[in-house]
Structure 1
Amino acid sequence: MQKAASVSVRVKAATKTRLEALATATRRSKSYVIEEALEQYLDVNEWQIEGILKAIAEADTAGAVFIDHDEVLARWEAKVAR
C-alpha cells in the first residue's frame, strides 16, 4: 500500500454535506469517498485527453483524410432513416 499524501481543498457547504452523507451511508471515511471520486474523475479525463491528443496527432500526419461536416451529417441521416 502506498503512503497517503495530504491535499486540502475548499468545497461548497452543500458539497461537504453530501460528502458526509455519502460517507455515512456507505460506512466509509470521507477520505475514501474523495479518493474514489478523484480516481474516477481522473480516469475519465485522462482517457478523454489521451484520445484527443491521439486524434490531433493522426490529423497532423501526411495523407490524413478529412470528411466534410455536411457529408458526415448526410451519412448519419441516411443511417438513421433505415
Structure 2
Amino acid sequence: MPVMSLRLPDELSDSLANLASATGRSKSYLALDALREYLAREAWQINEIQHAIAEADAGDFASEEELSTTLNKWSANAH
C-alpha cells in the first residue's frame, strides 16, 4: 500500500485527534474513511454531470407541458 504524507493545519489536526480519541479509532483510519467518502461523492457527482451533459447533447429535455406541470405543482404547494 502506498504511503502519502500531508501537512494539516493545527485546528484540523486537533479535530482529527479529538475525534480519534472519542471514537477509539486511529487518525489514519478516520482520514482514510473521510477520503473514501469524499472521493465516492465526487465520483458520483461527476458521473451525474456527465450523464446530464450526454442527455442535453442528445436533446433529451423536458417538454413544455412537462415543465408547466412541474412548475404548477410546485407553485400550488408554495401557497
Matched, 1:27 2:24: yes
In structure 2, the residue matched to 1:39 is 36
Q: TM-score, normalised by structure 2?
A: 0.77
Distance across 1 between alignment mates of 2:41 and 2:69: 27
CA RMSD of the aligned region, Å? 2.4
* Dislocated runs of 4+, deviation >2 Å: 63-68, 70-76, 78-81
Distance across 2 between alignment mates of 1:8 and 1:21: 20
Percent of aligned positions with the same letter in both sequences?
A: 38
Distance across 1 between alignment mates of 2:3 and 2:69: 48
Residue 57 (structure 2) aligned to one of 37, 60, 64: 60
Distance across 2 between alignment mates of 1:23 and 1:43: 22
Matched, 1:48 2:45: yes
Q: How many residue pairs align between the two structures? A: 76
Distance across 1 between alignment mates of 2:32 and 2:40: 12
CA 1:72/1:13 → structure 2, altered by over 3 Å: closer, same or farther? farther
**Deviation string, structure 1 residues 18-47 (Cα, Å, up to 9, x no partner):** 001111111111110100000111111111
Distance across 2 between alignment mates of 1:10 and 1:72: 52
Higher helix fraction: Structure 1 or Structure 2? 2
Counterpart of 1:7, as a letter, is: M
